[in-house]
Amino acid sequence: MKKDKFNPDYSAKNGLFDRRSFLKASIASGSGMMIAGAHASEDKIRSSWMGMPGEGMGESGPSEYERHIKRADIGSQPGTVGSGASRTPIQFLDGIITPSRLHFERHHSGIPNINPDEHRLVIHGLVDRQLSFSLEDLHRYKQVSKIQFLECSGNSGAMISPEAPQRNAAQLHGLVSCSEWGGVPLNVLLDEAGIKPEGKWIVASGADAAVMARSVPLQKIMDDAIVATHQNGEPVRPSNGYPMRLFLPGWEGNACVKWLRTIKVTSGPSMTKDETSKYSDLRDDGISKLFTFPMEVKSVITSPSPGLNLSKKGIYQISGIAWSGSGKIKKVELSADGGKSWAEAQLDEHVLSKSLTRFRSAWMWDGSNSSLMSRAIDEKGNVQPRRDAWLEGKAVNTFYHYNAIQSWAISSGGEVSNVYL
């Protein structure tokens, strides 16, 4: 069969294909397969693992060849073990679901070992009936499930540094993950308790050693908050709040209190330590913004990215993730020439509200110095800003809610690095 010669049909400068020509490019780049460690009998060849029956059934982890894919950049505050974070290795993942074992972590006093039989969710404050629920009780309520991202508002904070930090995608942007979250809508439980007219906010507290607390407007709680008991089909893991956590679609991770223990309906915010002294956004005029809950529209190219270098010139798949706390991703644009020209990326089938969305594109790398950028636009028309626009008006050491365009430089040797453009 005669192989058609691929006819380049670039839609942006420096080799970037439009999403409509992506399929053609993929076909053209197909190559042969190598078989290693094989042994032959008669005229057929078998790899070594085909010469005997394999392992039995049971618990399974990743392939021994993929064990480098694990939570990255684990660090905690001095003098503590459990007060810190770990990150999702986004550069090694594809699709939109983050395996639960790789979901990022951010804890304020470690992971409690909670016996679900002794755990209760208590709803109190400005309610007609103060109520307590067991995990078993919650399982009898109608469950809902949504595929949605969770992002720490400190994600990408290293990008405020004056020099571009030479770190990989996980280290820079790995405080975001996406799961199928299942649980009970909180409005059902609050309706059961009966909210008094003065009730306008709630204060959620966790069952960790820090009794971690955040105030959340009642409007959000009644809109789409859930008490999540399930993550990707299994009970929520201890590092994500077992046996139950607050989940606020699209809002900053810190407000999604893990190991949820109490919900107090109040007339206003409690002004907890975290929502005032930590998760507030300081401007360069000395004014701080409190309660900046929604996570903004954002994207990052995960492949290629630092550590995933290009070996030789030719066609590569550019792949990455985009998300917005305001709804669905409408489109992702890519540039291979430092933002001078842009081409639209192809979005995978699952474009869900407040979820990670996978984008891809084909790119013909000609072996020259290049720079790759992605720019996400959501259904509300929000456009991911450039870094200089994001920094405008903020105090020099304010890093929460960083959502600027990420640029990766590709050297003529194929090495990928972080660069400010």
The separation between the first and the last C-alpha atoms of the chain, rounded to the nearest angstrom, is 46
Among 122, 222, 315, 391, binds other proteins (CB under 8 A): 122
Contact flag: residue 77 with other proteins (CB under 8 A): yes
Nearest approach, Cβ of 417 to other proteins (angstroms)? Answer: 28
Nearest approach, Cβ of 99 to other proteins (angstroms)? Answer: 31
* Closest listed residue to residue 184, CA positions, set 235, 131, 230, 115: 230
Encoding tokens for residue 212?
């971690």
Residue number, 10 or 247, with CB nearest to other proteins? 247
Residue number, 108 or 331, with CB nearest to other proteins? 108
CA atoms lying within 13 Å on the CB side of residue 4:
8
Contact flag: residue 421 with other proteins (CB under 8 A): no
Residue number, 145 or 292, with CB nearest to other proteins? 292
Nearest approach, Cβ of 199 to other proteins (angstroms)? Answer: 13
Residue number, 59 or 136, with CB nearest to other proteins? 136
Angle at 266 (CA atoms; ends 265, 271), nearest 5 degrees: 120
Contact flag: residue 79 with other proteins (CB under 8 A): yes
- Element (H or E) spanning 410, and its range? strand 407-410
Distances, alpha carbon 357 to alpha carbons 22, 37, 101, 269, 332, in Å: 17, 38, 20, 33, 10
Contact flag: residue 45 with other proteins (CB under 8 A): no
Nearest approach, Cβ of 412 to other proteins (angstroms)? Answer: 39
Encoding tokens for residue 351?
């474009």
CA atoms lying within 13 Å on the CB side of residue 58:
3
Distances, alpha carbon 375 to alpha carbons 12, 143, 187, in Å: 14, 35, 35
Contact flag: residue 97 with other proteins (CB under 8 A): no
Which residue stretch of 40-48, 56-64, 212-220, 302-310 sits at the interface with other proteins (rule: CB under 8 A)? 212-220
Contact flag: residue 293 with other proteins (CB under 8 A): yes
Contact flag: residue 292 with other proteins (CB under 8 A): yes
Which residue stretch of 39-47, 265-273, 324-332, 409-417 sits at the interface with other proteins (rule: CB under 8 A)? 265-273
Nearest approach, Cβ of 354 to other proteins (angstroms)? Answer: 17
Contact flag: residue 382 with other proteins (CB under 8 A): no
Contact flag: residue 211 with other proteins (CB under 8 A): yes
CA atoms lying within 13 Å on the CB side of residue 359:
28
**CB of 104 closer than 8 Å to CB of 88:** yes
Q: How many CB atoms lie within 10 A of CB 228?
A: 30
Which residue stretch of 10-18, 32-40, 42-50, 286-294 sits at the interface with other proteins (rule: CB under 8 A)? 286-294
What are the φ/ψ torsions at residue 173 (nearest 5 degrees)? Answer: -130, 20
**Site size toward other proteins, by CB under 8 A:** 61
Contact flag: residue 197 with other proteins (CB under 8 A): no
**CB of 246 closer than 8 Å to CB of 260:** yes
Contact flag: residue 153 with other proteins (CB under 8 A): no
Contact flag: residue 326 with other proteins (CB under 8 A): no
Which residue stretch of 117-125, 315-323, 328-336, 341-349 sits at the interface with other proteins (rule: CB under 8 A)? 117-125
3-class SS of residue 105: strand
In order, the DSSP letters of 150-175 are EE-TTTTGGGGSSSPP---HHHHH-S
- Distance of alpha carbon 411 from alpha carbon 260, whole angstroms: 48
Contact flag: residue 420 with other proteins (CB under 8 A): no
Contact flag: residue 76 with other proteins (CB under 8 A): no
Contact flag: residue 3 with other proteins (CB under 8 A): no
Contact flag: residue 123 with other proteins (CB under 8 A): yes
Residues in contact with other proteins, shown as a per-residue x/- string from 333 to 352 under the rule CB under 8 A: --------------------
Under 8 Å CB-to-CB from 371, ≥6 apart: which residues?
335, 336, 337, 338, 407, 408, 409, 410, 419, 421
Residue number, 288 or 411, with CB nearest to other proteins? 288
- Distance of alpha carbon 217 from alpha carbon 249, whole angstroms: 13
Contact flag: residue 391 with other proteins (CB under 8 A): no
In the complex, which residues of this chain contact other proteins (CB under 8 A)? 77-80, 83, 108-109, 122-125, 129-133, 137, 140-142, 188-189, 191-193, 203, 205, 209-213, 217, 219, 261-262, 264, 266, 268, 270-273, 276-277, 280-282, 284-293, 395-397
